[in-house]
């Protein structure tokens, strides 16, 4: 495994674990999940924190803090819309 | 003028007409929009929808072919623009764009509102038809 693949695998484990903890699931669309994880990885490299790749980073750490994945809107979005804005976390089938 | 010349003249006229009509061809694909030209694009066209996207945003990539298809279907009625939020901070600030993708809707030069997040084609088409 390359370094990038290792990082992606770690990130996926973290996301899966977090989803399970909240009673959610990762999006069944593997390609989308992979792309979001890569976006998170890129933001971590660029900004030092995992900002959601679907939110606009202003450069002001205070303003941007709520956008760190899992963002502050995630839980509410999954519960009300079935998925977070970016689509990484979704409502579990058992919750339907 | 010989018969052949007359025929050539007819062909020439037809070709010229086709050429002129070709020039008036309606826009059927999204255009690049940025801080420098968004105002101009919005003023010049009755209905403009600007897709604000980012390179690293997966739902933006999903939305791109939907926008391409809508640009074809509504050619001549709606002008679709693409704006990269990473390099157009003034627009991002002006319209308080927090998430991507975000669609900005402008009718007759006026800002009408936003459509936030990825929507599949039928759903987005329905939303856009309300502005026609």
Summarize pLDDT for A56-84 with one digit per residue, the tens: 998 899 999 999 999 999 999 999 999 99
Alpha-carbon distance A31 to nearest alpha carbon in chain B (angstroms)? 9
Q: What would the mean pLDDT of A30-51 be, rounded to a whole number?
A: 93
- Total domains in chain A come to 1
Enumerate the residues of chain A whose CB falls inside 8 A of the CB of residue B95.
Answer: none
pLDDT at residue B14 tops 80: yes
Cis peptide, bond prior to residue A70, ω within 30 of zero: yes
Return phi, psi of residue A64, to 5°: -85, -15
Cis peptide, bond prior to residue B101, ω within 30 of zero: yes
Round to whole Å and give the CA distance between A45 and A21.
26
Task: Indicate yes or no: CB of A35 within 8 angstroms of CB of B61.
Answer: yes
Largest alpha-carbon pair distance within chain A?
39
Q: Which domain holds residue A36?
A: 3-95
CA distances from A76 to A12, A86, A87, B23 (A): 22, 13, 13, 51
C-beta of residue B101 within 8 angstroms of C-beta of residue B57 = yes
Taking the domains of chain B in order of start, what are their residue ranges?
27-129
B57 to chain A, any CB pair closer than 8 A? The answer is: yes
pLDDT at residue A95 tops 60: no
pLDDT-derived band at A1, boundaries 50, 70, 90: confident
A27 to chain B, any CB pair closer than 8 A? The answer is: no
- The architecture that CATH gives domain B27-129 is 3-Layer(aba) Sandwich (3.40)
Helices (H), B1-132: 3-23, 38-44, 58-73, 89-94, 121-129
CATH number of the domain within which A50 lies: 3.90.460.10
pLDDT-derived band at A96, boundaries 50, 70, 90: very low
Alpha-carbon distance A67 to nearest alpha carbon in chain B (angstroms)? 10
- The interface predicted TM-score (ipTM) is 0.77
Which structure tokens are listed for A9? 């695998």
Write the pLDDT tens digit of every residue in B45-95.
999 999 999 998 989 999 999 999 999 999 999 999 999 999 999 999 999
A55 to chain B, any CB pair closer than 8 A? The answer is: yes
């Amino acid at each position: 495994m390359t370094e990038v693949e290792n990082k992606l695998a770690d990130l996926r484990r973290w996301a899966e674990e977090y989803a399970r903890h909240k009673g959610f699931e990762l999006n069944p669309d593997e390609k989308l999940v992979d792309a979001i994880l890569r976006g998170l990885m890129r933001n971590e490299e660029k900004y030092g924190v995992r900002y959601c790749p679907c939110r606009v980073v202003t450069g002001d750490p205070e303003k941007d803090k709520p956008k760190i994945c899992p963002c502050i809107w995630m839980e509410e979005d999954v519960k009300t819309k079935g998925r977070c804005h970016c689509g990484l976390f979704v409502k579990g089938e058992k919750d339907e | 003028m010989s018969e052949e010349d007359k025929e050539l003249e007819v062909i020439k006229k037809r070709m010229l007409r086709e050429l002129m009509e070709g020039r008036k061809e309606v826009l059927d694909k999204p255009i690049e929009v940025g801080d420098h030209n968004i105002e101009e694009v919005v003023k010049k066209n009755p209905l403009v929808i600007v897709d604000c996207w980012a390179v690293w945003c997966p739902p933006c990539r999903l939305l791109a072919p939907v926008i391409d298809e809508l640009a074809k279907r509504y050619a001549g009625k709606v002008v679709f623009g693409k704006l990269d939020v990473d390099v157009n901070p003034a627009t991002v600030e002006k319209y308080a764009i927090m998430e991507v993708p975000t669609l900005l809707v402008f009718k007759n030069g006026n800002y009408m509102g936003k459509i936030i997040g990825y929507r599949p084609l039928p759903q987005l088409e329905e939303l856009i038809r309300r502005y026609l």
